[in-house]
Amino acid sequence: MAVLSVLRAAAALVVRRSPHKLQHLAGNNLLRAFPIASKVAVRLGSNGKQMFAIKSSQYYDRRFLHLLRFYILLTGIPMAALITFVNIFIGEAELAEIPEDYVPEHWEYFKHPITRWISKYVYDPPEKSYEKMMALISIETEKVDLRQKHLEVRRLMRERGDGAWYQYETLDKNLIDNSQKTNPDY
Amino acid sequence: QKNKFYYYHQHFRRVPDITDCQFGDYLCYYEAEMQWRRDYKVDQEIIGILQERLRACQQREGNSYVQNCAKELEQFKLGAKGYQSRYGDLGAYGSARRCLMKQKHRMIEERVKAVSEA
């Protein structure tokens, strides 16, 4: 502040010493309308007491906003430029009837060129995901069928006893000693 | 613009409905479900178009829209009533099966009402 006031005093002195030099320097026509510095009533308002305004620090807030703006615009500006150029120079597709004997590709059902590009190079065709889902469902259906059959087979084999399962090994009946059964217990 | 390119409306083949599927034929269920979802989307678009027409009509007519827009209003009311009775309160997890159950309940109520009126 002190430096500023010194500078200001020096500037005032220079202008006061050569009031008309400015006008001669810059050509008479342009600066004739400028008032002479020493004759104008200037109100600098420097008779108030100098105050130190106690505020909280704005360093962190300003830094945050600066960084936010920077990182958003880092990809925002190229994206905005790209989208503008695509909209202006490439333009959207036109609606047309499907020609005879022509099967359009899966990306030819979209209007905007960027959606078409994404559908062509990034996404799978919707037919593919449909078929994948159908394959999963068919596998699960087969599993359900087989499990049901398994349970039914178990039930029948146990009930009828003439199947391959539920066969248990027992002793040979020739090994049983029947001699004690010939005598009664009394 | 030098290179013109076109976009088309996709035509889907009609597959058997949920009511035409055998019990436990999950593949048939899936195809019917997908068809029902496509029809749901188409119906939503239809309702949107009716709304747009009504809105445009009201904007055009200004303060005399009550009597001049009667036709658009009738169309929209009809469409909205049908939409509400078919897809109305299915919720976010609406499916073809739930829609069928809703139709069943509707028919039961109609039958009960017809019996009670007769």
* Whole-number Å distance between alpha carbons of B23 and B18: 10
* Mean pLDDT within B4-22: 91
3-state SS, residue B86: helix
Helix-then-strand count for chain B, H and E: 4, 1
Write out pLDDT tens, residues B48-82. 999 999 999 999 998 888 888 899 999 999 999 99
Nearest residue in chain A measured CA to CA from B8: A109
Residues of B in contact with A95 (CB under 8 A): 6-9
Answer with the residue of higher pLDDT: B1 or B26. B26
The contacts of residue B47 (CB under 8 Å, 6+ apart) are B79, B80, B83
pLDDT at B16 over 80: yes
Closest to A93 in 3D by CA, of B9, B46, B48, B11:
B9
The contacts of residue B118 (CB under 8 Å, 6+ apart) are none
Contacts by residues B13-22 (CB-CB < 8 Å, ≥ 24 positions apart) = B18/B96, B18/B97, B18/B100, B19/B100
Question: B89 burial class (0-12, 13-18, 19+ CB within 10 angstroms)?
Answer: exposed
- Which of B1, B4, B8 would you mutate first to test chain A, the one with the most A CBs within 10 A? B8
Write out pLDDT tens, residues B28-53. 999 999 999 999 999 999 999 999 99
The residues with which B7 forms a beta bridge, in sequence order, are: A95
3-state SS, residue B6: strand
Residue A35's pLDDT is 66
* Mean pLDDT within B86-106: 92
From first to last of its 186 residues, chain A has per-residue pLDDT tens of 555 556 565 555 655 555 555 555 555 555 566 667 677 777 777 788 888 889 999 999 999 999 999 999 999 999 999 999 999 998 889 999 988 889 999 999 999 999 999 999 999 999 999 999 999 999 999 999 999 999 999 999 999 988 899 998 888 988 888 888 888 887
Answer with the residue of higher pLDDT: A13 or B101. B101
The residues with which A95 forms a beta bridge, in sequence order, are: B7
Residue A27's pLDDT is 53
Q: Is A94 on the interface with B (CB under 8 A)?
A: yes
User: Residue A137 is nearest to which of B5, B10, B30, comparing CB atoms?
Assistant: B30
The contacts of residue A127 (CB under 8 Å, 6+ apart) are A106
φ, ψ at B17 (rounded to 5°): -75, 180
Query: Residue ranges of the domains in chain A?
Result: 127-166
Which ipTM score applies to this complex?
0.81
3-state SS, residue B88: coil
Q: Which amino acid is at B29?
A: Y
Query: Residue ranges of the domains in chain B?
Result: 26-117
Q: Is A142 on the interface with B (CB under 8 A)?
A: no
